[in-house]
Amino acid sequence: MKAKTGYFIPQFPGKKHIFLWRPRQFLAEVGIETDLVSTHPPPRALSSHVWAEEAQKNTVYLFPFAAKKDFINSFLEVLKAGPAAWWQCLAVIAKASDTSLSEKVRLLAWIFVAGQLARLTKTKSWSHIHVQSCANAASIASFNSILTGCTYSMTLLGHTLEVYGSNHKQKWKNAAFAIVIFQLLLNDVKHKLANFIPKQLAVAPMGVNIAEIKRSHPYTPWQEGSPCKIFACGRLNRVKGHQYLIKTVEWLRNRGFEVRLEIAGENEQGGSGYHKELEKIIESKSMSECVELLGAVSEQSIRQGLEAAHVFALASLNEGVPVAVMEAMAMELPSVVTNVGGTSELVDDGAGAVLVQSEKPEERADLIANILQNPELALSLSQESRKKSWPNLATAAVQKL
């Protein structure tokens, strides 16, 4: 049977998209086949997963328009929708009270990108599109619903609503349903959007497949006199707090610990931007031999890094429900993570992981030192962590689709 559902992921497949690939696999297991669609491909440096090549081959990209013909076809799809649809699209833009003039011009451009999506919707015979974002891709799906009548839904993946741009009231009001990844975020959405939320709104935490993510040998606590290995994973962005984690390593080394820190992940520019800033910080502290930026690496490399480490650390200033922490806990690795976003809904402080306040490198150093110097504590955290790591959850999405 031809797939009837579009699975819309912006800039796919990127480094952080493994947690979006897994739910799609789960949907297929329960009989819901999906067609992949994306805005545009990511920089090559961000596509490191073993499944990335397959995913890109099976994804239809909406832009950039490959030829003049693409723009003409998109324009024709908008024309075919008729005057009522045109006016409805323009009304959406006019009612976008929280957007600037330049943002409204951008919304107007999304109508023609939605023309590309409309053509694809008809070709694939979709009756519904699920958007793994609440930003521009959601606006495109919203305009597509006006042009074609195809319903859409969204997942709010970030730590706040604001990071996903503007015009939220209409994107959310017109959605068939929406999914939010943790309870505190759901409460925030209800407060900020009030009467503009869809009738169906659910919490569906992301998760990891613990049948695949597991150790090949038991966890071994750090032994004094040997290097202590700390592993971190997350895109290179200031919000991930890597600069504070580097300060934590500096504190630990000043206290006599021979620390080795590996940071897996890349920035949105594929190696420039904040990556370069972190390199300068590391060089200025003469820590190039003990702090390594791994860049975008495969799932297998991340698991190897987790298995070889004594402690996992996350220094984020904001988070949703961090999949990196779930993976570390599934790998039975004692973790020290910041108490931000939905992390406290994932972590029971002291059971599998330890919570710390953000921007507190010295406090984080104290907690890591305590784990390193207390093998019984390290083993206890290791044994408890996998019990808490969440399975791959897509139940809410399945029920809605």
Per-residue pLDDT of the chain (401 residues; tens, 9 = 90+): 455 899 999 988 876 677 777 778 778 888 888 999 999 887 765 555 667 778 888 899 998 876 678 888 999 999 999 999 999 999 999 998 888 999 999 999 999 999 999 999 999 999 999 999 999 999 999 999 999 999 999 999 888 898 898 899 999 999 999 999 888 899 999 999 999 999 999 998 777 878 889 999 999 999 999 999 999 999 899 999 999 999 999 999 999 999 999 999 988 766 678 899 999 999 999 999 999 999 988 888 999 999 999 999 999 999 888 889 999 999 999 999 999 988 988 888 998 899 999 999 999 999 999 999 999 999 999 999 988 655 443 333 334 44
Nearest Cα to Cα of residue 389 among 340, 333, 312? 333
Same domain for 356 and 236, yes or no, is yes
Query: Structural domain tally of the chain?
Result: 2
The values of phi and psi at residue 303, to 5°, are -65, -35
In a domain, 210, yes or no: no
In a domain, 217, yes or no: no
pLDDT at residue 43, as a whole number: 72
Q: Tokens 């992940």 map to which residue?
A: 265
Same domain for 164 and 287, yes or no, is no
Contact between 228 and 256 under an 8 Å Cβ cutoff? The reply is no
Contact between 310 and 222 under an 8 Å Cβ cutoff? The reply is yes
Same domain for 184 and 237, yes or no, is no
Q: Find the domain containing 38 and state its range.
A: 5-204
The values of phi and psi at residue 329, to 5°, are -70, -35
- 3-class SS at 205? coil
Same domain for 38 and 91, yes or no, is yes
What are the structure tokens assigned to 103, written together? 């943002």
pLDDT at residue 71, as a whole number: 84
CA distance 173 to 195: 8
In a domain, 47, yes or no: yes
What are the structure tokens assigned to 145, written together? 């619903």
User: pTM for the complete prediction?
Assistant: 0.81
Q: Where are the alpha helices (DSSP H) in 82-223?
A: 83-94, 101-124, 136-148, 168-173, 183-193
What are the structure tokens assigned to 24, written together? 């799609």
pLDDT at residue 16, as a whole number: 65
Same domain for 235 and 181, yes or no, is no
Helix (H) or strand (E) holding 345: helix 343-346
Same domain for 193 and 278, yes or no, is no
Contact between 6 and 32 under an 8 Å Cβ cutoff? The reply is no
Same domain for 108 and 20, yes or no, is yes
CATH code at position 318: 3.40.50.2000
Same domain for 190 and 235, yes or no, is no
Same domain for 36 and 185, yes or no, is yes
Same domain for 149 and 266, yes or no, is no
pLDDT at residue 396, as a whole number: 38
- Beta-strand ranges (E) seen in 109-156 are 128-131, 151-156
Same domain for 61 and 171, yes or no, is yes
pLDDT at residue 399, as a whole number: 42
Nearest Cα to Cα of residue 42 among 27, 34, 52? 52
Domain boundary among 154, 169, 204: 204
Question: What amino acid is encoded at 320 in this protein?
Answer: G
Listed in sequence order, the residues at least 6 apart from 85 whose beta carbon sits closer than 8 Å to its beta carbon are 78, 146, 147
Contact between 80 and 119 under an 8 Å Cβ cutoff? The reply is no
In a domain, 162, yes or no: yes
Nearest Cα to Cα of residue 287 among 255, 247, 257, 314? 247
Same domain for 179 and 294, yes or no, is no
Contact between 139 and 167 under an 8 Å Cβ cutoff? The reply is yes
Burial of 184 (0-12, 13-18, 19+ CB in 10 A): middle
Percentage helix, strand, coil, to 5, in the chain? 50, 15, 35
